[in-house]
């Protein structure tokens, strides 16, 4: 929390770089109602960050159209992501009290700015979690997560030597945009960052084009999974589950999924969907037995490819636990080191889980001496993949419902965060229902009230 507040002060002192072409730091219309709230006075329910480990569903103003390419959506579906937990924990810097969270959502167009092209009121659309301008160097290559014009945060630029695109509901570090865990959301550059949903595709499938499907696909293709590869994946959450499925689709001969602790049940959940999947529960290994040793025994030399789908905030050992707690590092290197020591010589390791800053005890020796390729998969460029993935859904080549375990109420999102964080109730991936949602589609979970 102290780190986040310090980062906020640093950003205020430095000031933004000023090269964004869309307004920054509008994370809740209540900040300045006269500018950012709909003049009708209508209110909505939204999930707001109120401090470390404190999120609440509050009544806030409906957002207004601010710029001429804005779109206001009635949110018909949202979800929670492991990345949202990093925000709740305060692991991502520059959060401010009242910020509306949520970066995965779909909905129906409620209103549009005068310059929006190709969309109509009432269209069903899904949003990309990143906000792209559509015209810069990266956007022209569909590398939408690296847009040059939607995030003018100086701190990120100083830390990373460059910036990502602006992102919905993901702190002022990524531009400061209100998220979609709400009943309405404002989408800047709406004609760039919204994809029309065909009539035959229900919200419960289209929603996940927002992030999880594109992120999983990117992890697999960017790390270079090819025919015959043996792939090890750390983390059996939704990203890890779909990365396993996409690895098989891209020709992997074996996929080994690794998880443990309170999340151990996720291994069984994933295996029930993919019987040929192999698993390692690291908490069930004999004392002194490492994941690396287990993988070397399962496959001569280790896997060809390792993919990290966890994140850097979860320490396994005491050294990193205390270093994280004391602010001596922002991310643990433990899982990355496990990947590096586990793969074959000249193996490939991809990092898809969120890492925000600096780490200690990184095993650079094995990287260099054994020729390991370490790949930062980056924030997935959704625009590069979402049309292809939508076609795959339409052809029944992929079914996002395999990861969806619960349908929950927008009004209970604070409880969803608690249960998802604790890995309770076998909650793998949720569909968040709002007052604008259609009834569940065939095969989707029915709504569950967590308060009852």
Q: Do 107 and 76 form a contact (C-beta atoms < 8 A)?
A: yes
Residue-wise pLDDT tens digits, 263-313: 999 999 999 999 999 999 999 999 999 999 999 999 999 999 999 999 888
**Percent over 70 (pLDDT), the chain:** 96
Q: How confident is the model at residue 149 (pLDDT cuts 50, 70, 90)?
A: very high
**Of residues 178, 167, 176, the one with CA closest to residue 44:** 178
**Of residues 199, 4, 205, 18, the one with CA closest to residue 88:** 4
Q: Kindly report which listed range (153-167, 350-364, 401-415) carries the lowest average pLDDT score.
A: 153-167
Q: Do 208 and 396 form a contact (C-beta atoms < 8 A)?
A: no
Gap between the Cα atoms of 305 and 144, Å rounded: 26
Q: According to the model, what pLDDT value does residue 14 have? A: 62
Residue 249, pLDDT above cutoff 60:
yes
Reduce the DSSP state of residue 51 to 3 states and report it.
strand
Strands annotated E in 276-321: 278-281, 305-308
Strand order in the sheet with 305-308: 278-281, 254-259, 230-234, 305-308, 348-351, 373-376
Strand order in the sheet with 54-61: 54-61, 43-51, 99-100
Tokens of 56: 């609440």
Q: According to the model, what pLDDT value does residue 162 have? A: 87
Calculate the average pLDDT of the chain.
93
Residue 222, pLDDT above cutoff 90:
yes
Residue 54, pLDDT above cutoff 90:
yes
**Percent over 90 (pLDDT), the chain:** 81
Q: How confident is the model at residue 355 (pLDDT cuts 50, 70, 90)?
A: confident
The pLDDT of 44-49, averaged and rounded, is 97
Strand pairing category for 305-308 and 348-351: parallel
Q: Kindly report which listed range (156-160, 164-168, 230-234) carries the lowest average pLDDT score.
A: 156-160
Q: According to the model, what pLDDT value does residue 15 have? A: 63
The pLDDT of 79-94, averaged and rounded, is 86
Q: Do 344 and 301 form a contact (C-beta atoms < 8 A)?
A: yes
The pLDDT of 374-379, averaged and rounded, is 95
The pLDDT of 14-24, averaged and rounded, is 81
Q: Do 340 and 366 form a contact (C-beta atoms < 8 A)?
A: yes
């Amino acid at each position: 929390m102290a780190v986040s507040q310090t980062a906020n002060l640093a950003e205020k002192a430095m000031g933004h770089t000023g090269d964004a072409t869309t307004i920054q730091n509008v994370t809740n219309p209540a900040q300045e109602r006269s500018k950012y709230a709909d003049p009708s006075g209508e209110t909505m329910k939204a999930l707001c960050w109120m401090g470390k480990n404190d999120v609440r569903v509050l009544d806030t103003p409906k957002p207004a159209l601010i710029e001429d390419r804005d779109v206001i959506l009635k949110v018909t579906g949202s979800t929670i992501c492991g990345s949202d937990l990093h925000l709740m924990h305060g692991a991502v810097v520059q959060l401010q009290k009242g910020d509306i969270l949520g970066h995965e959502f779909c909905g129906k167009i409620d209103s549009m700015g005068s310059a929006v092209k190709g969309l109509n009121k009432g269209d069903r659309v899904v949003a990309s979690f990143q906000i792209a301008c559509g015209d810069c160097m990266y956007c022209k290559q569909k590398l939408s997560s690296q847009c040059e014009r939607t995030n003018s945060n100086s701190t990120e630029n100083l830390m990373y030597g460059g910036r990502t695109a602006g992102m919905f509901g993901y702190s002022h570090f990524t531009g400061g945009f209100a998220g979609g865990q709400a009943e309405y959301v404002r989408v800047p550059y709406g004609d760039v960052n919204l994809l029309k949903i065909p009539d035959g595709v229900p919200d419960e499938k289209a929603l996940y084009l927002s992030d999880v499907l594109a992120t999983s696909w990117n992890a697999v293709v960017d790390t270079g999974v090819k025919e015959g590869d043996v792939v090890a994946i750390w983390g059996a959450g939704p990203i890890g589950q779909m990365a396993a499925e996409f690895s098989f689709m891209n020709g992997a001969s074996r996929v080994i999924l690794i998880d443990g602790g309170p999340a151990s049940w996720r291994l069984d959940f994933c295996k029930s969907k993919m019987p040929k999947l192999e698993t390692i529960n690291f908490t069930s290994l004999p004392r002194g037995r490492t994941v690396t040793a287990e993988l070397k025994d399962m496959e001569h030399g280790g896997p060809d490819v390792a993919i990290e789908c966890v994140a850097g905030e979860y320490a396994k050992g005491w050294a990193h636990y205390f270093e994280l707690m004391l602010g001596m590092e922002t991310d643990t290197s433990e899982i990355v080191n496990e990947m590096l020591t586990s793969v074959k010589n000249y193996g490939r390791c991809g990092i898809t889980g969120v890492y925000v800053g600096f780490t200690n005890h990184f095993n650079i020796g094995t990287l260099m001496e054994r020729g390991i390729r370490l790949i930062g998969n980056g924030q997935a460029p959704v625009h590069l993949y979402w049309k292809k993935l939508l076609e795959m859904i339409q052809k029944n080549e992929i079914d996002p419902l395999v990861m969806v375990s619960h349908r929950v109420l927008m009004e209970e999102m604070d409880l969803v965060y608690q249960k998802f964080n604790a890995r309770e109730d076998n909650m793998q991936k949720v569909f968040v229902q709002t007052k604008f949602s259609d009834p569940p589609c065939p095969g989707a979970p029915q709504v569950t009230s967590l308060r009852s």
